[in-house]
Structure 1
Amino acid sequence: MPPVSAADDRTPPRRFNAGRHCLADNARLRPGKTALVMVGAGDDVTRITYAEADRAIRGIAAGFARLGLEPGARVMIRMGNEADYVLVYFGALAAGLVALPSSSQLTPAEAAFLMEDSGASVVVAGRDAALDRDRLGDRIVLDSEKIAEMKSGEPVAEYADTAADDPATLVYTSGTSGSPKGVLHAHRAIWGRRPMHAHWLGLNEGDVMLHAGAMNWTYTLGVGITDPWACGATAVIYNGPRERGIWPGLIAAHGATIFAAVPSVYRQILKYADLSQHDLSRLRHGVTAGEALPPDLLEAWTATTRTPLYEALGMSEISTYVSSGPTIPVRPGSPGRPQPGRRVAILPAEGDPEPLPQGETGLLAIHRSEPGLMLGYWNRPDEEATVLRGDWFTGGDLASLDADGYLWFHGRNDDLMNAMGYRVSPNEVEAVLAEHPDIAEVGVTELAVRADVRVIAAFVVPRPGAVPDAPALIAWCGERLAAYKTPREIRFLDALPRTANGKVQRKRLAETQS
């Protein structure tokens, strides 16, 4: 399966199943090839071939069918960083159901919101899954033992005969209103990833892709698993202790040809690992997304490893669509150019959605004909109205395009924050802190602590008589929010900066003194 070229047809077949696209041909053409390597602590390594993955996924699909679920029923996955996460995800697609991957970092209350908002019929719970049992209702809960039984049971003969536009995946991300919103993707979303394979990842069937992320992150499920499988390559995921300098040893041990991570991981490698002790000769390049890549880190990585580092820009609603890569030369400070075949424009923030000339700053937009674009927000037509403008989808990024087509990022048109690659709404964090009895007012924003590291910070006005206690407030959030949403810093103020109309000016919070 060679990388897709710009000339390839971008319209998916009318009948298309994402699971079949990634597994069926691979199981037939390369059954004994390793599809997935799960690496744990020490010598704990699990290898799954394409034939084994295909068989297990069709077994899980048959198990779902025996539950009598309607096509399109939602299957929420509450599992850790384990192989079964991937098999259940693709098993849901193979059965014509909608997979809902969720983060293991979510608290029981946060997970319950996703379960109830999505109307999930099934919850697949790993051994350490945090579930609010009182809110399960009549939902079917499948544990690891039940999944093992399904994997070994009689499989379905064929993947579900789904249409390219049928729902396949529901991913939750922060909305501007504060509560998470579901982004619903069709089976065609995997077809829409094809331009990434040649123009960002440089991916082909001979590659070994090592991804540094956790399984429940769409960056990992997409780049770490789906893309290698779509090309017949091998995916490697690590599930052992998160030692900061461990990645070069894993690259060498498993012969990784491509390494995927966020920029902070690359910086940790350069700081904590002795690269001279590892054979990185098979590593062709690294790829990065989720956060902006600082030019100094790009320079340090390429000078030290003598391998390129390719950046991409994307979002939950479309995945990556702007990048550098083997066909797009790197330009420091820019995430790259729109991948060939993508229709990208810069629109005015207000008024008619007419593309702006090169060099002008406006809202980054992608054409609604893009096959990787979401079907819509789950039961949120009000949210859709804010991002769909004529023939274009706008995600809130402010950017410009230069004369060579390179994109330059100028921040957000809203207050959404980027925490460890996840979008987080300040409203959601503020609502949790506002319930604390010692807090009179609170504002939340991002705070730059290094050139490539931004953390969530809460700016708090204490109630009269309250004793400021930052660790206690962080612990309060940690009990109610996923770790990536929890503030890393608390600053105490006498008053929050506000507009003349009384609205908190979040962008000015970072200017205040601690």
Structure 2
Amino acid sequence: MTASSPRIPDTRKISDTPKISDARKIPDDRKDHPVTALPALVARHAERTPHALAVVDGDTTLTYRQLVTSARCLAAHLHAYGVRPGDRVALLMPRSARTLVTQLALWWVGAACVPLDPAHPRPRIEAMLADSGTTLTVGDSKLLASAAGTGVTLALPEDPLLSGEEIPAADTGPDATALVLFTSGSTGLPKGVTVTHGGIAELVSDPHYVTVTARDRVLFHSPTTFDASTFEVWAALANGASVVVCTTERPSFEDLAQHVERYGVTVAFFTTALFHQLAARRSRLFSVLRTVVVGGEAMAAQQARAVLRAFPWLELVNGYGPTETTTFATTHRVTDADCDGPVPIGRPCAGATAHVLDEAGRPVADGARGELWIGGSRLANGYAGRPELTAERFVEHASLGRLYRTGDLVSCRQDGVLDFHGRADDQVKVRGFRIEPGEIEHLLREQPEVDDAAVTVRRPAEGDARLAAFVVAAPGPVPRAETLRTRLAEQLPAHLVPDELTFVERLPLTVSGKVDRRALADLRGVTVTEDRAEPLTPLQQAVADVWSHALGCEVARADADFIAYGGHSLLALIVTDDLREELGVTLSLPDFFASPTVAGHAALVERALLANHSDLHPDAPEDTDGH
């Protein structure tokens, strides 16, 4: 097709409809409803169906009336403490019903919520607090004492407040900031995306791209710092459905399946990497779910087809969208026919617009590759405290208005469906997390023993993506790889710490003098020299065999460290599930990472087997004297 073809999407809004006869007036998928603040959406259901179930948190339940009453009372408590409209308040607490109540209370009083992850290192939390301009950190008293850093803190009541003083809701407009969510930054610092009330409300109000009704139960298992949690919580509460909170800090495959089964979950979001593993195992949770939304990376057609054929009733939605576009910008309901090739990312949803443009911001022809620019009413306000970066990424297009440059390469089919073709820059995605390699490289180069460094993604097997760092050592003694990884872990969250770290004499370069990341990805990762002097016990050997299968390399030492061998959180899920199937023992992820060696895991397995054995003999005499 030539550049003068009438089908070029010059100012076209690619829309969630197959009809494109009038390219300039294509409606998006929104239904006729006013965009309003999130507290008003939830309060509306509290008025209409006050006794309907809103939140399930273990054995604790909240109806819509109880949820709103508790949020209003907590809002009064926060207001009395001095929180006012426009304030930014950090939230530090485990995933629970209290998390939902607190977010709603902050919005009720007119403040923005800045979720923090208690697992993040203190320096990163302090950087987030500074960048976001928070005036107060609220949450769990123990976490506040250990991880909140400097600044004013307020411990919140442990139980929901179901009675007390209430205040009227603040007059919050759609452009007001609701959340500040941090993503990886290329300068060595995270950047906080300011997501608006209107953006979230439009995403979740009576959505056309996914089925969520008042009869549904939606699983909430993502970290509150991850934008997927916005969908998990507020798509449910904006539509009268129930939120099922997975309170396990790091749920295993079995934990997720048990939560879905026990509480009758019907809708769930999974990162692409997690979905691929669940699909490969034909997880029984698919037999309970009606709708699965997947996002974060390119969906594998083989795994999508396997799930659709094994569970033909399933509504499988492929969601795409950076945090800057409020969780999902485009969606596609996947069919078996889609799996004949790469699964598309679909059409814009819920008020978003999409434009495929060249480097100069001009439209490209249908079928041609270009950068995806997102527009519409759900764009974030920008980056907290970063006006220059905001101006760079959120641009005023001469004819299309305000757009966000995604940096992703796509092409548009004749029917308006978008296909994804990767990144235009060095940014990568690993296990659903958006990662700027420059952030990690910056910290590595600051180490006195390091001359240069480059970070990329290595894929030793299908569905296994590993963040790999390649380091050129400075003159002098070469540091241990684990020493550098430990230093990075003191400043970065776990998903930004490289799974592998390899020392090289020099970094491969392209003809233009840039680091050749394609050549880096082809280099071998960490090589571990095995010492077989100490034979493994039978139980240690069984654990080592499971490790070897998951890690893709032979493990033959009792002191072998899971992280040093390239293990990461998703591989840990695989290992714990394999141990459960092979040995009949379930290890929690906290225990798994507390003793991440073959010997440590074997000891945990032995302890669990002995406990199971004692359960089988309840009449056995108790050892009361310690012998």
TM value normalised by structure 1: 0.87
Name the CA shift for 1:328/1:130 in 2 (closer, same or farther; >3 Å): farther
Deviation at 1:382, TM superposition (A): 1.5
CA distance in 2, matches of 1:206, 1:284: 12
CA distance in 2, matches of 1:397, 1:210: 29
User: Which residue of structure 1 lines up, in the alignment, with residue 331 of structure 2?
Assistant: 323
Q: 2:44 aligns with which of 16, 25, 30?
A: 25
Residues 225 and 235 in structure 1, CA contact (< 8 A), matched pair in contact too: yes
Name the CA shift for 1:463/1:196 in 2 (closer, same or farther; >3 Å): farther
User: Which residue of structure 1 lines up, in the alignment, with residue 321 of structure 2?
Assistant: 314
More strand by share: 1
Deviations for 1:109-166, whole angstroms, at most 9, x for unmatched residues? 1000011112211101325537678952xx43012xx334883563434221122222
1:167 aligns with 2:177: yes
Deviation at 1:482, TM superposition (A): 0.6
Deviations for 1:227-255, whole angstroms, at most 9, x for unmatched residues? 11010001112122622233333222211
Residues 112 and 131 in structure 1, CA contact (< 8 A), matched pair in contact too: no
Deviation at 1:389, TM superposition (A): 4.4
Deviations for 1:81-124, whole angstroms, at most 9, x for unmatched residues? 22222211121111101111122331111000011112211101
Residues 456 and 468 in structure 2, CA contact (< 8 A), matched pair in contact too: yes
Tell me the secondary structure at the aligned position of residue 111 of structure 1: helix
1:267 aligns with 2:276: yes
Residues 196 and 321 in structure 1, CA contact (< 8 A), matched pair in contact too: no
CA distance in 1, matches of 2:476, 2:206: 56
Residues 409 and 423 in structure 2, CA contact (< 8 A), matched pair in contact too: yes
* Matched letter for residue 73 of structure 1: D
Tell me the secondary structure at the aligned position of residue 510 of structure 1: helix
CA distance in 2, matches of 1:432, 1:125: 30
User: Which residue of structure 2 lines up, in the alignment, with residue 489 of structure 1?
Assistant: 500
1:202 aligns with 2:225: no
1:103 aligns with 2:87: no
Name the CA shift for 1:263/1:384 in 2 (closer, same or farther; >3 Å): same
Name the CA shift for 1:31/1:458 in 2 (closer, same or farther; >3 Å): same
Tell me the secondary structure at the aligned position of residue 343 of structure 1: strand
Q: 1:37 aligns with which of 33, 56, 70?
A: 56
Residues 462 and 492 in structure 1, CA contact (< 8 A), matched pair in contact too: yes
CA distance in 2, matches of 1:404, 1:449: 36
User: Which residue of structure 1 lines up, in the alignment, with residue 623 of structure 2?
Assistant: none
1:142 aligns with 2:154: yes
Deviation at 1:394, TM superposition (A): 1.4
Q: 1:53 aligns with which of 59, 62, 67?
A: 67
1:347 aligns with 2:357: yes
Name the CA shift for 1:488/1:281 in 2 (closer, same or farther; >3 Å): closer
Deviation at 1:5, TM superposition (A): 9.0
CA distance in 1, matches of 2:436, 2:467: 10
CA distance in 1, matches of 2:428, 2:217: 32
1:469 aligns with 2:475: no
Equivalent residue pairs, number = 489
Deviations for 1:292-332, whole angstroms, at most 9, x for unmatched residues? 21111101222223324211001111120211139998565
User: Which residue of structure 2 lines up, in the alignment, with residue 361 of structure 1?
Assistant: 369
1:504 aligns with 2:527: no
Tell me the secondary structure at the aligned position of residue 247 of structure 1: helix
Q: 2:247 aligns with which of 234, 239, 246?
A: 239
Aligned-pair Cα RMSD in Å: 2.8
User: Which residue of structure 1 lines up, in the alignment, with residue 567 of structure 2?
Assistant: none
* Matched letter for residue 211 of structure 2: G
- Superposition pairs for residues 174-213 of structure 1, below 5 Å? 174-194=184-204, 197-199=207-209, 201-213=210-222
Which moves more between the two structures, 488-497 or 465-474? Answer: 465-474
Name the CA shift for 1:456/1:195 in 2 (closer, same or farther; >3 Å): farther
CA distance in 1, matches of 2:146, 2:508: 38
Q: 2:433 aligns with which of 406, 416, 422?
A: 422
Which moves more between the two structures, 237-246 or 30-39? Answer: 237-246
CA distance in 2, matches of 1:447, 1:126: 38
Name the CA shift for 1:85/1:7 in 2 (closer, same or farther; >3 Å): closer
Residues 77 and 101 in structure 1, CA contact (< 8 A), matched pair in contact too: yes
User: Which residue of structure 2 lines up, in the alignment, with residue 78 of structure 1?
Assistant: 92
Name the CA shift for 1:328/1:11 in 2 (closer, same or farther; >3 Å): farther
Tell me the secondary structure at the aligned position of residue 68 of structure 2: helix
CA distance in 2, matches of 1:462, 1:7: 55
Tell me the secondary structure at the aligned position of residue 320 of structure 1: coil
* Matched letter for residue 27 of structure 1: A
Deviation at 1:284, TM superposition (A): 1.5
Residues 353 and 374 in structure 2, CA contact (< 8 A), matched pair in contact too: yes
**Rg: which structure is higher?**
2
Residues 34 and 234 in structure 1, CA contact (< 8 A), matched pair in contact too: yes
Name the CA shift for 1:84/1:399 in 2 (closer, same or farther; >3 Å): same
CA distance in 1, matches of 2:272, 2:135: 37
Tell me the secondary structure at the aligned position of residue 491 of structure 2: coil
User: Which residue of structure 2 lines up, in the alignment, with residue 218 of structure 1?
Assistant: 227
CA distance in 2, matches of 1:117, 1:328: 45
Stretches of structure 2 that go unaligned for 5 or more consecutive residues are 1-26, 526-627
User: Which residue of structure 2 lines up, in the alignment, with residue 151 of structure 1?
Assistant: 161
CA distance in 2, matches of 1:51, 1:86: 14
Stretches of structure 1 that go unaligned for 5 or more consecutive residues are 40-44
* Matched letter for residue 234 of structure 1: S
Name the CA shift for 1:489/1:64 in 2 (closer, same or farther; >3 Å): same
Q: 1:335 aligns with which of 339, 345, 350?
A: 345
CA distance in 1, matches of 2:62, 2:215: 17
Deviation at 1:411, TM superposition (A): 1.5
CA distance in 2, matches of 1:448, 1:454: 5
Which moves more between the two structures, 114-123 or 305-314? Answer: 305-314
Q: 1:8 aligns with which of 19, 24, 31?
A: 31
CA distance in 1, matches of 2:28, 2:114: 31
User: Which residue of structure 2 lines up, in the alignment, with residue 436 of structure 1?
Assistant: 447
Deviation at 1:180, TM superposition (A): 1.3
Name the CA shift for 1:454/1:252 in 2 (closer, same or farther; >3 Å): same
CA distance in 1, matches of 2:252, 2:181: 28
User: Which residue of structure 2 lines up, in the alignment, with residue 42 of structure 1?
Assistant: none
CA distance in 2, matches of 1:121, 1:265: 36
Q: 1:395 aligns with which of 389, 398, 406?
A: 406
Q: 1:89 aligns with which of 103, 122, 125?
A: 103
CA distance in 2, matches of 1:502, 1:5: 44
Residues 294 and 333 in structure 1, CA contact (< 8 A), matched pair in contact too: yes
Tell me the secondary structure at the aligned position of residue 75 of structure 1: strand
Deviation at 1:359, TM superposition (A): 0.9
Deviation at 1:479, TM superposition (A): 2.2
Deviation at 1:504, TM superposition (A): 3.2
Residues 209 and 259 in structure 1, CA contact (< 8 A), matched pair in contact too: yes
Residues 38 and 83 in structure 1, CA contact (< 8 A), matched pair in contact too: yes
Residues 91 and 113 in structure 2, CA contact (< 8 A), matched pair in contact too: yes
Residues 75 and 166 in structure 2, CA contact (< 8 A), matched pair in contact too: yes
Deviations for 1:238-281, whole angstroms, at most 9, x for unmatched residues? 12262223333322221122222113323333455763xx7x66
